[in-house]
Amino acid sequence: MPTLIIDTVSKRYERNRWALREFSLRMEAGVLGLVGPNGAGKTTLLKMLATLLRPAEGHIIWNGQDILRHPETVRRVLGYVPQDFGVYPQISARVLLHYLGELKGLRGAQLRRRVEAVLEMVGLSADAERRLKTFSGGMVRRLGIAQALLNEPRLLVLDEPTVGLDPAERVRFRELLPSLSGERTVIFSTHIIGDIEATATHLALLNHGRLSWTGTPEALLADAAEALWTLIVPQAEFERMRARYRVSSAIPRGGSIETRILAAHQPHPQALPATPTLEEAYLLFQEGIGQAVGTEPFPSSKPV
């Protein structure tokens, strides 16, 4: 079983600007969704896992080896999809994958088998001979995943893989990702909670470079219970409540507003408890309203 340990990792870009502060997490096989707003430190962390950045402090251990001292130990088993995956527009998907496969050390029949296998995995076999300049944004993202799978990685890292995708392509990605896990450790970053809900077995919430919560989606929902309320109020009263509380939704109902409010205590005498969605549970923790506790990120694993 692959094991990745991130131990009190910090990264500072400027004297007083920390991208990550004392980030610690232990991960095993499964799909981890790394969630946080823009600037939370997600890309910085993923670049460290891909050995493209060195932390200012801390250690990253892959199967007992410190990847800062021995980066080749993780590079041999790494698949990485950056947020901006560039392609050569005049060549085909198959040609690009053969080229990248050779850079990963694949040769001959093994390379040919892996290229065809990953094209099939991401649903691009029928388009393999098309020039990449004719590919949609979603097809390019799928090609990025295909190249990351060429060496059958044990650690798969994807940075904002659904950015810029239309709804149909996002659904296709959600269907693809669970099939890639198996005995792999899959880590993908996003700020789109719908992607997490459909694909991730575990979550790690980041805010201002710090890990604020880890656990399963179900545990996040449980920790956020009793902090969401629903009620119908006149427009004028709704405006007053919106000034005091975080509103997750507001639907006009004639001359009134049906609203859902994030609050630790009952915000209005007529407010009724409601069951939060995963997006609302995430907002509760971002606002500091939910319980400040998390659960173990993976079975038999504990944060370091």
Query: Any idea where the domains of the chain sit in the sequence?
Result: 4-216, 228-275
- Each residue of 151-189: pLDDT tens digit? 999 999 999 888 777 888 888 888 888 777 777 899 999
Q: Tell me, what's the pLDDT at 194?
A: 80
Give the other-Cβ count within 10 Å of 194's Cβ: 16
- Each residue of 228-248: pLDDT tens digit? 999 999 999 999 999 999 999
Supply φ then ψ for residue 96, to 5 degrees: -65, -40
Assigned CATH for 4-216? 3.40.50.300
Q: Which of 148, 154, 151, 188 is nearest to 3 (CA)?
A: 154
Rounded to an integer, what distance in angstroms lies between the CA atom of residue 297 and that of residue 264? Answer: 25
Give the other-Cβ count within 10 Å of 33's Cβ: 24
Q: At what angle do helices 137-149 and 167-176 cross, to 10 degrees?
A: 20
- CB burial class (10 A; 0-12, 13-18, 19+) of residue 288? exposed
